Structures are given as structure tokens and as C-alpha cells.
Chain A
Amino acid sequence: METRQITVIQAAAVLVSTIIGVGVLALPLFAVRAADSGGPLVTFMAMLLAFVGLSLVTWLGMRFPNETIIHYSERIIGKWLAWIGSLFIIIFFAVLTSLTAREFGEVVVTSVLKSTPVEVTVIVMLLLAAISTRHGITTFAHIHTFYFPFLLVPALVIAALSLKNAEVINLLPIWGNEPGGMLKGTLTIAALFQGAFVLTAVIPSMKHPGKAMKASFWGMLVAGGLYVIIVAATISVFGSEEIKKLLWPTLELAKATSLPANILERMDAAFLAVWVTAVFTTLFSSYFFTIYSMSHLFRLKEHKLFSYFILPFVFVMAMVPQNIIQMYEIIENVGRIGLIITIAYPGLLLIVSILRKKRGNPVADNKNVDQNH
């Protein structure tokens, strides 16, 4: 089996590039719907909520440093209950994968490749993810670490350049004029951070599982910070009322931003190129997590055989939404349900494990120990 090789930085990179995905395009819209000019605050609160969820997961992972959630849940709440929980996790991540692919397809077909059938874009993306998942978890972490700077730097550059047209007044008052939808908005945006749950699969392969909390802190800070920056930049440039009229405000922001001296008069093409990478890493993570968990659930040594097996299922699910408005409704609903799976369920596991004083075997640090299956 693979040895424990993943470092803290790699784990953080996995988190960041998993979290940053399709969601960035519609993110300012969700934020503004919740609390108009209070969008950055809502995003920040969502980040805190997501961090609470992630730290629960990390804590659990550190208690059971040799196992994934599929295994330790069995030891905590018993085989059958855990089986149901794990099944939900797997189904949820399969749905998440398909929705990510579909949202990607919709953006591409609306803004770039107008005559290419959406099925083709979706299947190409899924195939790409399926092929990449045929490797171990160390390769998984390496791929994420490799793409990490390609996501972060261009997104920051676009946000910084767009500030040329920014007006601070659009960001005031910071709590928004009509903060009625604050709670709902926080949940919707927190749902965009759910990919971070893959950490449960990463911890058992970390070199020092004891430092997992550090990874989740930095991962959340970078990804959440980027989200807040994007929301703040978009609102300060367009104003919250205009954003309500845009389907993908972040893309619109890239469109309104030009490189100095008009080298590129609109950055949407460049931005989409970066964004494709971001979508790929997200898709890759959720796809990988789905099949990795399946292989653990069925006590298999290899997850490879599932990588093509679930492809048709994921693809068909991706084609279920009838139109783009319905798709966003589904995404928001699935996201909120997902919070139960990715925050409440691990929370419950943690409480029970503390009450029942269950704990995994500690790992001898600084040594490469074979992974326990």
C-alpha cells in the first residue's frame, strides 16, 4: 500500500483547490441576494461556519489518524448506522460531482462554446476527472499542489486589477441594507466550501496527522480569503443592485477588467481558462472522494475499478436539471442538505466518540508507517 507521504502544505493545497471551483462564478450573486452590500460579511460568516465544520472533521480525523470516516464511523456508532451514513456521504459526493460538471457545462455553453452540445463539455470534463482518479491518494495530493498556484495567482490579479473601477461606497453599510436573508445566504455560501470534506480521506495518508488542523486552518483561510476578496471586489465595482441582475458576476467582473495599457481589453477569456482548471480540481476531488469512499465501504484494496463504473451514473445525474434556473435551485438545495452530511454528521460522530471514549491507534510520527486498511 501507499505510504504516508502527504505534507501539511499539500493537504492545505488540496483543500484550497478543492474549495475553489465552479461556485466562484455565482458566489457574489448568492452573497448579494442575502444582504446586498453586506455580501463580504455574509461570505466571511459562511467561511467561519465552514471552518467550524471542517475543524470537527479534522478533530475526528486526528482521533482516528489511520482510518477514513467510512471506517471509524463504524467503530463509533456501529456498523449499520455507519453504513447508512457512509452511503449518504457517497451519494452526496456523487451528486456534487455531477452538479459541478453540469454547472461547468452550462457556463461554457452560454458564454464560450455556444454550438457545442452541453453533453459533450460535461462528458469531457468527467472523463478527464475519471482518468485522473486512477491513481493513488499521493498522486491526488500532488496534482492539487501543482495546480494550486495557477488558481490563486490569476484570481488575485483579476481582483486587484478590477479595483481600478471600484467604489468604496458600494460596500457600505457593511452589514447590508436589507440583511434579512443573512442566515440563508450564509448556509448557501457555506455549502460552497463543502469540498473540504475530502480531508477525511487525506488525513490517513498524511505524514503527520497531528498537524492536520494546521492544514485545515490554512486551507480555509486561503480559500475563504479569496472568496471574500472576490465578493468584495465584485460588489465594489458593480454595486449590489447590478449584481442581482447578473447570472455570473465574477465572469462579468473579468469582462469589465482590462490589463494595464489595454494589452487585454477584457479578461474573461483568460479568467475562464483559469476557471476550467479550478473546476477540474474540484471535480477531481469530489469524484476521487466518491470512489475512494466506495472502495473503503466495500473493503476493497483498490478504488480504480470504480472510476469508470460510476461515470455513467454521474453523467446521467448531471443531465437531470431541465434548465439553468432549475439547476441553480437544485444546487442551492443540495448544498444546504449537504451541510447536514458534512457538518452535522461528523459533529455527531465526534460527540459520540468522546462520550464512548473511542480513539484510533496513534501514529508513530516522523516514520513512514504503512497505511492501515
Chain B
Amino acid sequence: MLTTRMWIKIIRTLCAIMLAVPFLTGCWDRLEIEERAVVLGVSIDKVNMETAEKEEDEISHLRGTIPTPEKGMVRVAVQIALPGRIPLGPGESGGGGGGSVGKTVWVIDVVGHSLDDAIMNLQQQVSSKLFFGHLRVIVISEAVARNGLENINDYFRRNSEVRRMAWMMVAKGQARKLMLAAPPLERVPTLYLMSTLDEGIRMGKFPKDYIGIFWSNVSKKGQEGFLPYVEIKKEENVEIKGLAYFVGDQMVGVTKPLEIAGYLGIKGINPAGYRVFVQLSNPEQTIMTTATHRRSKIKVQIKDGIPHFTIDMGIELNVEGKLSDEIQINNPEVLRMIEEKQTEDAVKSYYKLIKDSQEKGSDYFGFGEIVRAKKPHYWNKRIKTAEEWGKMYRNCTFDIKVTLKVRRIGMKGV
């Protein structure tokens, strides 16, 4: 009697376990790591319509049924990691010697009517499922950026695998070249691209501008987005050439590399890391200084119905070098001269930077957000929308005060 009862009990539990097993395994979404194509980087270029139409197969739609979009078709190149080829440690064989693109990643390109369409066409050509969870870098050619990023932003926002910490950048010329480049420093090319910018942040050469931050800035009513503007150099290295700034999701202009320092200064972002030439009285008396610390305070007043901003900046400097011995850096007077001269130059360059952005109507500094936050009555009455702010921004006035201090001169006494 007792044993039967025990048996019933055992069978009961077994049944329960058996019933639970199919639910717990998660078999529906099983995807072995070697069965997924891990996409590390994506580049997007504009293509010639006629050739592209011919090149595209009838995958997501039949030829002729969908009119080609006004903004033109795109060529999308992806960098797919080859499973097992990416060396994990420095000592591992395989990556050490060659290190060229063909070894660790595979670059394929397709054309499509939109980004999504192109990815669909690509999936038709690649056996394993494309996986965007490790997507680190999205490169967009300048032509595409100037056409507008609506479709591209929409695709990446909607895709749940894409990280908000990925980088999006605008390339001068062809974006695909950046996918093909194989700088010898990093074994995975996209990681090199990424570290160029990540290190840039750490050295004070570039603001934090991950794709998520860019999206937030684009959405804000009182701010426009900006992206790093990069160019590939002859040794397949990458130069940060400036900030590509936007109005809405259309790129409208680009700054010079030194003007990134201006942006960082106005925003007071630390650490500081730009070096500049300061010419004192004649070309021989030229000194190079490096910024070490920035601070900035932006205040807003409404003057005659137009926002007026007062920017109070402070930058600390070190002397880095001089061109000739004509000038002796041995008394405070000289340092004071350097400070004065550089302040003059800096103020001029800040005004110019802001003026350029005003001409384009692109407030990528976020002055509008300050108005929205600090002067809500004014904002609600006069501005309200991003378009209105774009118009108002052109008329805003600025007052820039800069305090520069030279603190150190390095290990040399004079």
C-alpha cells in the first residue's frame, strides 16, 4: 500500500518535470554561436540609381513595384566577424602574423532601397542569421548624411539588439573604405575605429557622442545632433576631421578639427587635450600650449525678446614648446603675455564657431535646451518647437568671456 502510494507520488513528480522541461529549454530561440553572423560594423553609401537597380535582386519586392525613393538607393557594407578567427589574447596564433582584414572579418556589400531593404538583401546572401548585438561602428558617407538619416535612425532604434553605446560617424568620401581598412594596431578593424574615438574621449579630443546620445540630441527641441567626421588616411589610419552637425536628421555642415576644441571648451568638457599655437609678437616668438582643464558656465537672459547668452569659460594651460630661443620663458610677465594673446585668439575662434553654427541654424551646443529649462515661460510663449528654435537661434546674441591661466612649463627652465 505504502509502496503504491510512493510510486504514484514519484510518477506524479516525474510527470510534472516532464511537462516543465519543454518550456524551460528555450529551444525556440536556440542559436548556436557559430550559426550567427556577428556584425561588427556597418557602412552606408549612396549609389548610382541605374547601376544599383540592376544589381539589386528581387528579394523584398519585385522590380518596378516599389518606386525608387527620392533620396536614392544605398550601398550597405557590413563587417562580419569570422567565428574562431578573432584572437582573444596577445599570445594566440593566427592573429599575430597577418592581421589583415581577410583574416578576422569578412566584408560584404549589397545595395537596397533603404537600409532595411539592403540588410534583407544581405541576409539572402549570407547563410547564418545576422546578429547586431555586437555592432560597434556605423559609418555613413557624407552624401547619405546630407540626405538625411531618418530611415537609418529608425532602423537602428527599432532593432532591439543594437546598443546605444555604438558609435555612428560620418565619413568624408566613401564610407565603405572604412570597413575595408585594416590598420595593423588592432586585429579587428572596427575595434580600431571605435578605439580612435574612445581614446579621443579620454585624451580630451572628442566629446562623448555615442549613437544613443546623438539620438537624444536630435530629438531634443532645443538642440541639434552632431557626429564625428572622419577621414581615412593613406596608411589606413583614421583622422577625426571635425564635427558633422545636423539640423533635424540632415547634416548641414562640418567643423575643423581644432574647432572640436572650441566645442569642448564652450561645453566645459574635461579632460582637456588640445594643443594650439600662440604667436606673440613676431612669427619667431611662437609658442605651443596644451589645455589641461576646462570649465564653462552658460547663462541666459532674454533681451528684447531674444535670448542672450553669457558664456564664462576658464581654461588652464601648460606650455609645451617654442619655435626658437628668441623668447625666454623665465618670468611671469611672459606667461601673462601668452595668456593675453591666447585669450584674444580663443575668444575670436569661439565667436566664429558659434557664428558658423548660427548661419546654418544648427544649435548643436544645446543653447536652446538652456532656454527651455531656465526660461520656460519665454519658451512656451515664443518657441515651443524645434523649428522655431532653429529660426530664433540665428538671431541669438552671445557674450564670451575667457580666462586662461598658464600653470606649468614642463621640465625645462627657460
On A, residues with C-beta under 8 Å from B are 37, 110-117, 120, 124, 165, 169-170, 172-173, 175, 177-178, 237-239, 241-242, 244-246, 252, 255-256, 258, 265-266
Contact = CB atoms under 8 A, between A and B. Distances in A.
A177 B220 CA distance: 13
Given A165-B213, A172-B374, A177-B376, A117 B219 contact: no
Contacts of B106: none
Interface stretch (B21-29, B312-320, B341-349): B21-29
Max count, chain A CB within 10 A of own CB: residue among B23, B369, B373 = B373
Contacts of A255: 163-164
B157 A245 contact: yes
Contacts of B370: 169
Contacts of B369: 169-170, 239
B216 interface: yes
Given A116-B29, A169-B370, A242-B219, A178 B380 contact: yes
B212 interface: yes
B220 A239 contact: yes
B23 A124 contact: yes
Nearest to B375: A173
Contacts of B165: 256, 258, 265-266
B379 interface: yes
B216 A238 contact: yes
Contact of A266 (B163, B213, B376): B163
A244 B157 CA distance: 13
B103 interface: no
Interface string B359-385: 000000010011011101001100010
A256 B26 CA distance: 26
Given A115-B28, A178-B380, A242-B216, 20 more contacts: A112-B29, A113-B28, A116-B28, A116-B29, A165-B213, A169-B373, A172-B373, A172-B374, A172-B376, A173-B374, A173-B376, A177-B380, A238-B212, A239-B220, A241-B219, A241-B221, A244-B219, A245-B215, A252-B164, A266-B165
B379 A110 contact: no
Contacts of B376: 172-173, 175, 177
Interface string B198-237: 0000000000100011011001110000000000000000
A244 B212 CA distance: 14
B239 to A, nearest CB: 26
Contacts of A124: 23
14 contacts: A115-B29, A120-B23, A172-B372, A177-B379, A177-B380, A177-B384, A237-B216, A238-B216, A239-B216, A241-B220, A242-B215, A256-B164, A256-B212, A265-B165
Nearest to B24: A124
Max count, chain B CB within 10 A of own CB: residue among A111, A172, A241 = A241
Contacts of A170: 369, 373
Contacts of A242: 215-216, 219-220
Contacts of B220: 239, 241-242
A113 B384 CA distance: 41
Contacts of B160: 110-111
Interface in B141-164: 157, 160, 163-164
Contacts of B372: 172-173, 177
Interface of B: 23, 26, 28-29, 157, 160, 163-165, 208, 212-213, 215-216, 219-221, 366, 369-370, 372-374, 376, 379-380, 384
Contacts of B29: 112-116
Max count, chain A CB within 10 A of own CB: residue among B28, B165, B216, B220 = B216
A117 B28 contact: yes
Contacts of B221: 241
Contacts of A177: 372, 376, 379-380, 384
Contacts of B216: 237-239, 241-242
A231 to B, nearest CB: 16
A350 B136 CA distance: 59
A116 B163 CA distance: 22
Contact of A239 (B23, B28, B219, B374): B219
A1 B408 CA distance: 81
B124 to A, nearest CB: 19
A256 B29 CA distance: 24
Max count, chain B CB within 10 A of own CB: residue among A165, A173, A238, A239 = A239
Given A117-B28, A241-B220, A265 B163 contact: yes
Nearest to A173: B376
B172 to A, nearest CB: 28
B219 A245 contact: yes
A175 B160 CA distance: 32
B373 A37 contact: yes
Nearest to B366: A169
Contacts of B219: 239, 241-242, 244-245
Contact of B373 (A113, A173, A178, A256): A173
A225 to B, nearest CB: 24
A242 B213 CA distance: 10
Contacts of A116: 26, 28-29
Nearest to B30: A115
A232 B163 CA distance: 22
**Nearest 5 pairs of A and B residues by beta carbon:** A172-B373, A241-B219, A242-B219, A116-B28, A256-B164
Contacts of A173: 372-374, 376
A258 B164 CA distance: 11
B270 to A, nearest CB: 14
B69 to A, nearest CB: 22
A246 B153 CA distance: 12
A361 to B, nearest CB: 42
Contacts of A241: 216, 219-221
Contacts of B28: 113, 115-117, 120
Contacts of B366: 169
Contacts of A110: 160
A178 B215 CA distance: 22
A339 to B, nearest CB: 30
Max count, chain B CB within 10 A of own CB: residue among A37, A111, A124, A165 = A165
A112 B372 CA distance: 37
B261 to A, nearest CB: 21
